[in-house]
Amino acid sequence: MLILYNPQSTASGKRVLPMSLLAVGAALEGVHDYMIVDGNLIPDPVAAIDRSIRETGADILAVTVMPGPQISHAVPQCRELKGMHPDLTIVWGGYFPTQHYDVCLRAEYVDYVVRGHGEIVFKALIDALRNGTDPTCIQGLAFRRPETGEITSNDMAPIPHPNRLPDFPYHRIDVPSYVRPTFLGKRTLAHHSSYGCPFHCNFCAVVNMVGGRWMAQSSERTAGVVRSFVDQWGVDAVEFYDNNFFVHEKRTADFAERIMDLNLSWWGEGRIDTLLKYSDRSWELMRDSGLKMVFLGAESGSDETLLLMNKGGTASTGKTLEIARKMKHYGVVPEFSFVLGNPPDPEADVHGTMEFIRKVKRVNPDVEIILYMYTPVPLAGELYDQAKARGFKFPETLEAWIDPEWQDFLQRRSAQVPWMEDPLRREIQNFERVLNAYYPTSTDPKLTGVWRLVLKAASAGRYHLRLYGNPIELRALHKVLAYQRPETSGF
């Protein structure tokens, strides 16, 4: 028996379908005996895992680890479980271990790291461990050399094609526990229909994962999954967590046509330049099939910075304004994320992007704005090089990574980067507070029309006069109303 474990992934314990484990588990079906434990659903996962080990004799614990709250649970829990069961083999996989495998393997409670998309690699590892053969030549595996303790990573394995992988083994989990109300609908469930992204933006962790490749399930298969959500669990809204759902126009349009009769709402992530190339017919199909909102990386208010980010394709600030206009026409809300504080001149970058956001809002006031701080990922490129030149260094142990300051960093909210001064971070927070009050998000169902008007009135003066500093009255209103930042469906 082996245990696949999803440590709690949000501070609030939001229940998100554990797709990483469903994907890895699907490849084990009928070959290896396994169970899924989800830390988002149970109060004491260490006790549950300990009990399962004792009852079933499980000897392998495979953990999915993403940055943020998840790693801060994974570290002490794996340490504790290894202490209780020294013979337990612990395997980590997911975005964080893929990028920082060396840091993970420096901890004695992590035995193997599976890098990249792990279905085939993990199954090969389990086959080897069960058959007593040597796993150290498996592509995509990182490990400590048994003789010397040296940390080694083999080359990444080819990415498995999602259309050739088995369906998720939903029978392994209690799906109704993951059906949630969101701004999209009363019964929302998630799916992931493609792997990767064909671009190489140098601030993005997806590049390390897939190296610029994108592969997708067919429109027919994706629509089939959605239909089964409706038939089996009465779902009325679907979030697509794909890094880039909209790469292939024909697939998207065909998918939209196939789900037209389901009366659903749906959401996904895409690229501005790609969606601008879509025909009017495709936009109509998407709108009519229930597309409500698209998360788009606008990234910056400066064309120069977009180049520096290696944003690729034909990204430009002009296109950001153009898509805002186009989506207003189709009644689909754009959710623009911006990465602020880029080197070499973070102040100019922040101020330029704030002004650009105001421009966007003039074109389409419904646009949702999500602000992130630039946080380096270990990728070749000018941004990371400049960050290093200014003294940026990743922590070298897992214990240091879960320090609260680095937790902020991992959630892309920190100024713990040598080129960001604290006053600038405060400025961004104040701007965000005024902006979110003047344009309250449509993703907050608690906020009634009256309160929206109150917020708008309270922030109008500040917004128009650009007086963002120290908005204590808005902070007080925020305390009373607890209104949220725009909800980025996936994150």
The label of the residue with tokens 């128009």 reads: 464
* Cα–Cα distance, 222 to 191 (Å, whole number): 9
CB of 271 to ligand SF4, least distance (A): 5
37 in contact with ligand B12 (CB under 6 A)? no
Does residue 321 interact with ligand SF4 by CB under 6 A? no
CB neighbourhood size of 292 (10 A):
21
Residue choice 271, 326, 452, 462 for contact with ligand SF4 (CB under 6 A): 271
Asked whether position 206 contacts ligand SF4 by CB under 6 A, the answer is: yes
**Residue among 197, 235, 253, 308 that touches ligand SF4 (CB under 6 A):** 197
Query: Phi, psi at residue 190, to the nearest 5°?
Result: -110, 155
10 Å Cβ neighbour count for 414?
A: 18
Q: What single DSSP character describes residue 319?
A: H
Range in contact with ligand B12 (rule: CB under 6 A) among 5-13, 74-82, 246-254, 285-293: 5-13
Q: In the window 45-84, what residues touch ligand B12 (CB under 6 A)? A: 62-64, 66-69
Distances from the Cα of 222 to the Cα of 162, 218, 423, angstroms: 10, 6, 47
Shortest separation between residue 462's beta carbon and ligand B12, angstroms: 26
User: Taking CB within 5 to 8 Å according to partner kind, which of ligand SF4, ligand B12, none is near residue 74?
Assistant: none
* Distance from C-alpha of 250 to C-alpha of 464, rounded to nearest angstrom: 43
Determine, following the binding rule CB under 6 A, whether residue 168 of this chain makes contact with ligand SF4: no
CA-to-CA distance for 78 and 82, rounded, in angstroms? 6
Half-sphere exposure of 146 (CA within 13 A, CB side): 4
SS3 371: strand
- Alpha carbon distance 350, 144 (integer Å): 42
Contact residue for ligand SF4 among 3, 66, 126, 204 (CB under 6 A): 204
| First CA to last CA distance, the chain | 32
For position 201 contacting ligand SF4 by CB under 6 A, the verdict is yes
Q: Are 119 and 160 in contact (CB under 8 A)?
A: yes
317 binds, among ligand SF4, ligand B12, none (CB under 5 to 8 A by kind): none
The single residue among 243, 305, 441, 489 that binds ligand SF4, judged by CB under 6 A, is 243
Which residue lies nearest ligand B12, judged by its C-beta? Answer: 93
Of 154 and 316, nearer to ligand SF4 (C-beta) is 316
Residue 62 beta carbon to ligand B12: minimum distance, rounded to whole angstroms: 3
Q: Which SS3 state, helix, strand or coil, does residue 471 take?
A: coil
**C-beta of 201: minimal distance to ligand SF4 in Å?**
3
Tokens of 57: 């004799």
Rounded to a whole number of angstroms, the minimum distance from the CB of residue 77 to ligand B12 is 14
Q: Which does 377 bind (CB under 5 to 8 A by kind): ligand B12, ligand SF4, none?
A: ligand B12
Decide: is 376 part of the binding site for ligand B12 (CB under 6 A): no
Q: How far is CA 372 from CA 90, 298, 300, 458, 488, in A?
A: 33, 11, 11, 25, 12
Q: Considering the rule CB under 6 A, would residue 374 count as an interface residue with ligand B12?
A: no
Query: Contact between 188 and ligand B12 (CB under 6 A)?
Result: no
Sign of CA dihedral 452, 455, 461, 464: negative
For position 320 contacting ligand B12 by CB under 6 A, the verdict is no
CB 252 within 8 A of CB 289: no
Q: Tell me what percent of the chain is helix, strand and coil, each rounded to the nearest 5.
A: 45, 15, 40
Residue 244 binds which entry of ligand B12, ligand SF4, none, CB below 5-8 Å type-dependent: ligand SF4
Which residues lie near ligand SF4 (CB under 6 A)? 197, 199, 201, 204, 206-207, 243-244, 271, 297
Residues contributing to the site for ligand B12 (CB under 6 A) = 6, 9-11, 14, 16, 18-20, 23-24, 40, 62-64, 66-69, 91, 93-96, 114, 117-119, 122, 192, 205-206, 241-243, 377, 410-412, 490-491
